Structure 1
Amino acid sequence: MLKRHKRTRVSVRLLGLSAAALSVAAAAFTYTSMAGAVGVNEATGRNPVPSSGTTKTVRYDMGDAAWHLPQTGEPVELTGVVHYPADLGTGRHPLIVMMHGLHDTCADRKADAARTAAEHDGDDAAYEAANAKLSAWPCASGTPVLHSDRGYDYLGRKLADQGFVVVSVGANGINASSVWGDDNAAARADLINRHLRMWQELSSKDKGELAGKFTDPATGAARRVGFAHHVDMGNVGIMGHSRAGAGVTWQAADSHRGQWPKGVDVKAVAALAPAYNVMTEDMSNYTITKTPFATFRGTCDGQVGGEALWFAADAAKGNRSGFYRFAIHGANHNYFNTQWSPQSRQVAAADDAMPVEGHPGQCTDREGATPARQLTERQQRHVAATYLGAFFRRHLLGDTGQDQVLTGARHPDAAITEVDVTTAAR
């Protein structure tokens, strides 16, 4: 089957969806932001987010073929960009692991131009040849890697400034692989666990594969960072965007908790514009009832349909740890990742929102849907950071001052856009 560079909207899972969705909705409360902006930094009796106000960044890279998919043996990189408080202090910081979804892997501009021309001409053979270069792994000699893992630097810095250690991991090898559907979600979960295992060994013993492997992302110079005994592996959050949204749901599912590395406890999972395999025959692979779970989608998402929110609701049926759905008006799919967004001028960067004819600046996700004012790249990321930050602060730091944001009682970004918030009763 010809692999197109644009993600294809998945179809609604035909069986078991309506009843589960109605069950969750019956025990939920929905709010829409209409009031003015309200700050979220009220005193809570203590400061759960000690921060020096500055952050630092390092990177690690074990190689493009440092790991191999258990299903097929295909090569996958072990890389990560790490944002952390400049002053780690004397205590331990929760770890947040982030993963990108499906996108091109190699920034080959000639191949990108050839693919665009082939698509215009309807030349499938030329399209396939160009696409093979853009979705290869490892990339051809001299062709730069398209670093989708750097697309969440804005979020990593924001979270690090709030007291978290944040690592965004590369998954280009999975994107270039032959695994699809549930196998793709499982592969992403395995890769997350592989990174968590390395972090557990580093944090507990100051040894293992990560010891001595951190470098300056700009210069490549070695950097010594004292993460040992400063990362709380019993207090971990994970976030996945697009296909990785399915991956983190799989990783945190009740049935897969036994695969977490020893000493690791995932306390919060967030699926950002998740692209689920909605035709799955086994929902137990995605069911999360023991871990706080949040899912996000923009109303102008041109890649993932609204079924993503309902699938998540189905997966969270029976969850009493906390389940939240956020529909961000005017947000698309790609702007959550800076490398996928037009202002980056990166290969394959695009605005996937559907414009509304005769209404400049308005967008939607499908014909006939209610339009919204499209958010700029910066606005969309600001809103994402607000709500993801509130979720992780609440469930990794115990900051109850975020409760009203997570239930939709207060809307800190109402001056920017509306956010529909649905939360299951706890």
Structure 2
Amino acid sequence: MIRKPWRHLCTAAGLLAVPLFGTMACSSEAPDETVSVAQTVQTTGPGAVAPDPTDFGPRPVVSAEYRFPASRDPDIYAHADTELWAAVYRPKSMAGGPHPIIVFLHGNHATCGKGTNPRVDDDCQYTATGTCPEGYEMAPSYLGYAYAAERLASHGYVVVSINANRGITCGDVDPDGGDRGLNLARGRLILKHLQRLSEWNANGGTPASLGVELRGKLDFSQLGLVGHSRGGEGSRAAYNLYRDPGSTWPTKIRSPVSFRAIFEIGPVDGQTSRTLNADGTTWSVLLPMCDGDVDNLSGIRPYDRMLQIPTETPARPKSTFTVWGANHNFYNTEWQETDSSGCLGHVE
């Protein structure tokens, strides 16, 4: 039996709660259709018990999506139509605030699949056309981190999980060169979502599909990024594209952004013409040691590079976690086939 390693992400992220995002909590189980609330525990005085970092927080959670028609947006990628589509997980009550933001970005994967238990994702038609072949459905990679997003939202975060399927995921190599993994495009996609969120935060006009008006509810000074696979390098790309000299993104995004932390899961590195580091922010990488996709564990390279930056300003923690027996795919619950056939019997 191959057990999915969601809990490894939950455990590592939960332990990184304070240095990364202030708090982060997960569960060792797959998410239920409804989100429960953590039981009250005594945390002070005699008999005090530390709160379980893998449990839900005190706030009921709701989720919804926004989606805009596909378009050719040169701010994101000039050579293909892309979509602004994301799932948003938030506290049911948005009283108080503003709320810190965490953005999730999935990695590269086929965009159409068929069958169940597991669904086999083996077609990329959606990338170019926005449709899948007969008998197929779009592979909803952006929903594969709900187990973490729901728990973060229960602690007060607004979590945005981006769907990068159209034009980018499983897309063609950038014809201009310099972005063979389309990870700079992934970074620009993150920033475009932040631009739209900042417009709603400043002026209102939040899509009715979200069921809440976000005006004044988002804290862009408290922003974290979580990226899996190419989404990891894409998250680093967003960070660097925002802070480039002469970047237009600080103007486009209505609220000044403070990237408090970046957390990467089995990321790639070196798939663009740029060297992408995360100096100046807290950064951590989780490496699955039975990774059958990014099998060279290239996500350790940014860690090695950043240890050699003696003048990081401001200096921020960098860390790496390795998880024995964990494969690449199963951190995303929608990626239902193992990538590590050579580890069968040992993969979690």
Say whether the fold is shared (TM-score over 0.5).
yes
1:295, 1:312 within 8 Å by CA — same for their partners in 2? no
Alpha-carbon distance in 2 for matches of 1:166, 1:108: 28
Deviation at 1:308, TM superposition (A): 2.0
Q: Which residue is 2:179 aligned to?
A: 182
Alpha-carbon distance in 1 for matches of 2:76, 2:89: 29
Alpha-carbon distance in 1 for matches of 2:266, 2:109: 14
2:107, 2:232 within 8 Å by CA — same for their partners in 1? yes
Aligned residues: 279
- Is 2:261 the partner of 1:246? no
One-letter code aligned to 2:266: A
Alpha-carbon distance in 2 for matches of 1:253, 1:156: 24
Q: Normalised by the size of structure 1, how large is the TM-score?
A: 0.59
Aligned with 2:153 (options 157, 160, 163): 160
Alpha-carbon distance in 1 for matches of 2:68, 2:169: 18
- Is 2:212 the partner of 1:225? yes
Q: 1:311 to 1:104 in 2, by over 3 A?
A: same
Residue deviations 1:323-344 (CA, integer Å, cap 9, x gap): 1111112211111111102xxx
Question: SS where residue 166 of structure 1 aligns?
Answer: strand
Alpha-carbon distance in 2 for matches of 1:276, 1:252: 15
Residue deviations 1:46-69 (CA, integer Å, cap 9, x gap): x9x995431111111112437457
Alpha-carbon distance in 1 for matches of 2:261, 2:124: 36
1:254, 1:290 within 8 Å by CA — same for their partners in 2? no
Residue deviations 1:63-100 (CA, integer Å, cap 9, x gap): 24374575433011110101111122212110111111
2:63, 2:90 within 8 Å by CA — same for their partners in 1? yes
Alpha-carbon distance in 1 for matches of 2:59, 2:216: 21
Q: Which residue is 1:268 aligned to?
A: 261
Q: Normalised by the size of structure 2, how large is the TM-score?
A: 0.71
Residue deviations 1:277-333 (CA, integer Å, cap 9, x gap): 26x5542xx022111111111111111134423312144242521111111122111
Aligned with 1:169 (options 146, 162, 171): 162
Q: Which residue is 2:323 aligned to?
A: 328
- Is 2:278 the partner of 1:288? yes
Q: Which residue is 2:202 aligned to?
A: 204
Q: Which residue is 1:361 aligned to?
A: 345
Alpha-carbon distance in 1 for matches of 2:319, 2:43: 22
1:79, 1:170 within 8 Å by CA — same for their partners in 2? yes
Question: SS where residue 214 of structure 2 aligns?
Answer: coil
Question: SS where residue 175 of structure 1 aligns?
Answer: coil
- RMSD, aligned CA: 3.2
Question: SS where residue 163 of structure 1 aligns?
Answer: coil
Aligned with 2:299 (options 289, 309, 323): 309
Deviation at 1:141, TM superposition (A): 7.3
Q: Which residue is 1:370 aligned to?
A: none
Which ranges in structure 1 are unaligned for 5 or more consecutive residues?
1-40, 117-129, 216-223, 342-349, 363-373, 376-426
Which structure is higher in RCO with an 8 Å CA cutoff and minimum separation 6?
1
One-letter code aligned to 1:301: D
Alpha-carbon distance in 2 for matches of 1:315, 1:192: 24
One-letter code aligned to 1:292: T
Question: SS where residue 249 of structure 1 aligns?
Answer: helix
Q: 1:308 to 1:42 in 2, by over 3 A?
A: farther
- Is 2:209 the partner of 1:214? yes
Alpha-carbon distance in 1 for matches of 2:189, 2:280: 22
Q: 1:305 to 1:351 in 2, by over 3 A?
A: same
Larger radius of gyration: 1
2:126, 2:132 within 8 Å by CA — same for their partners in 1? no
Q: 1:63 to 1:186 in 2, by over 3 A?
A: same
One-letter code aligned to 1:326: F
Q: Which residue is 1:139 aligned to?
A: 131
- Is 2:98 the partner of 1:75? no
Deviation at 1:169, TM superposition (A): 0.7
Which ranges in structure 2 are unaligned for 5 or more consecutive residues?
1-41, 45-50
One-letter code aligned to 1:182: D
1:61, 1:213 within 8 Å by CA — same for their partners in 2? no
Correspondence list, 1:388-399, <5 A: none
Q: Which residue is 1:218 aligned to?
A: none
Residue deviations 1:235-293 (CA, integer Å, cap 9, x gap): 11111111111101111138745434242222111111102226x5542xx02211111
Question: SS where residue 253 of structure 1 aligns?
Answer: helix
One-letter code aligned to 1:78: L
Alpha-carbon distance in 2 for matches of 1:309, 1:191: 21
Residue deviations 1:32-56 (CA, integer Å, cap 9, x gap): xxxxxxxxx966xxx9x99543111
Deviation at 1:171, TM superposition (A): 0.4
